[in-house]
Chain A
């Protein structure tokens, strides 16, 4: 196995920040982060989208207005994880996206989306309201 060159942390964060700054606004700029043969997966829907062109087409045709609120970007080397909130036509969903890089491009992104839920009463004694930052 050949060792992949690890990404510089500041470079990775800058690429990801630019990606999300354009999310929902400029899908061509959003797609710049992907390698030509990148794979985007939504395990909950058992969907896989292959290739930068299809990712761009998918996002360009999305049938809802989207607003993004970044919570955290964490990672190192070629693996980065983004936590964010997407509002679909104003309805927020919570998202975890796992980005795997090679040669400074995303080659694989795995995205999980979930709705908000009310905190259950039974566990309130062990829980505190969280700081989302």
Chain B
């Protein structure tokens, strides 16, 4: 698989999720695809189980993006997707991140997280006084970029 093909598959994967086009996953995922959610200790095996989750996801989701896609060689497509996802019923927007390992053609394994926006005080502001360390950066600037490092 070429690098451009890998990126195209990932972008179609995100588009299928946004469109709730679950059947499109048949062309995008290996039948033995695995999806893991480390923060909850959950894992799914096979495209049918993933499709079951997506078909029944309460409230759905919107806004997943491919604003920044990074990968290396033809084994990987990795993304922190900087576009904010808003899950209905959740007060906080989340930043999705996922890592996909590539098989012969389709993704074989994915690790995903839904990471709430955190109060920056937790990571840096508590120590920023006296240290010119942390700068705010414009997330929309990232959202405008589409980078592929291959």
Binding site for B on A (CB under 8 A): 4, 6, 41-50, 54, 57-58, 61-63, 71-72, 74-79, 81, 83, 94, 96, 98, 100, 110, 112-119, 122-123, 125-132
Chief secondary structure at chain B's binding surface:
mixed
In the complex, A100 Cα to B149 Cα: how many Å?
Answer: 9
Q: How many residues of B contact A (CB 8 A)?
A: 55
Which B residues from 107 to 150 make CB contacts under 8 A with A? 111, 113-120, 122-124, 126-127, 131-139, 142, 149-150
22 contacts between A and B (CB under 8 A): A6-B73, A42-B120, A44-B115, A44-B117, A45-B123, A48-B134, A50-B135, A54-B131, A54-B132, A57-B133, A61-B127, A78-B149, A81-B99, A100-B70, A113-B118, A114-B114, A114-B115, A126-B49, A126-B50, A129-B43, A130-B37, A131-B43
Q: How far is the CA of A110 from the CA of B145 in the complex (A)?
A: 15
New contact pairs (4) apart from A43-B139, A45-B123, A126-B52, CB-CB < 8 Å: A45-B119, A79-B71, A96-B97, A122-B56
